[in-house]
Amino acid sequence: MSGEVRDIWVYLSASPLLHLTLTVFAYLMADWLYQRSGRMALFNPVLVAVLALVGLLVTAGIPYERYFEGAQFVHFLLGPATVALAVPLYRQVHRIRGSWFAISVALIAGSLVAMTTAVGIGWLMGASREILISLAPKSVTTPIAMGISEKLGGLPSLTAVLVILTGIAGAIMGSWLLTIFRIRDQRAVGLAIGVASHGIGTARALQLGELAGAFSALAMGLNALATSVLVPLLFRIIG
How much is the mean pLDDT over the chain? 86
Q: What mean pLDDT comes out for the span 175-190?
A: 91
Helices (H) and strands (E) in the chain, counts: 12, 0
CA distance 101 to 31: 37
Confidence of residue 163 (pLDDT cuts 50, 70, 90): very high
DSSP per-residue string spanning 84-97: HTHHHHHHTHHHHH
Contact between 229 and 114 under an 8 Å Cβ cutoff? The reply is no
CA distance 109 to 179: 20
pTM equals 0.80
CA distance 231 to 115: 7
pLDDT at position 142 is 86
The CA-atom distances, in angstroms, between 197 and each of 126, 154, 189, 224 are 25, 20, 12, 11
For 57-78, the pLDDT digits (tens) are: 899 888 888 887 777 777 777 7
pLDDT at position 1 is 45
